[in-house]
Amino acid sequence: MERIRQAFPTRALMLFLAIGIIDLISTAVLYSKGMITEVNPLMRFFIDRSDWLFVLVKALTLAAGWYALQRYARQNLDFVRKACTYASLAYVAIWVVLFVGHS
């Protein structure tokens, strides 16, 4: 239990990472079936070359973000909690706007 608490010092960080993983998987699957296009121009560069390259880059981005946030939580847990909460809300809001807007 202590290792989990160290890895995820706040549930907001766990939520933010879970949203990122769901985004990674759903984007890779839907893109491979031709159901969506990647709207982020940076990630579009990778997914247009290879689905697996996209997955690798997105996973590394998520891992780097998780690492930085879990390390910084040692100095400022409240900031990390708020940052992850607001980022999660923004992430979901962007999803909704993009999916509704492109439907």
The amino acid that residue 89 corresponds to is L
pTM listed for this prediction: 0.88
Query: Is the pLDDT confidence value at 98 over 90?
Result: no
Task: Return the percentage of the chain with pLDDT > 90, whole number.
Answer: 77
Over residues 6-27, the mean pLDDT reads 92
List the domain boundaries for the chain: 2-101
Q: Which residues contact 77 (CB under 8 A, 6 or more apart)?
A: 9, 10
Over residues 13-21, the mean pLDDT reads 96
Burial class (CB in 10 A: 0-12, 13-18, 19+), 28: middle
Pull the structure tokens for residue 102.
């492109």
Over residues 64-77, the mean pLDDT reads 95
Amino acid 100: pLDDT: 77
The amino acid that residue 41 corresponds to is P
Contact 36, 30 (CB under 8 A): yes
Burial profile 43-63: b = 16 or more Cβ within 10 angstroms, e = fewer: beebbeeeeeebbebbeeebe
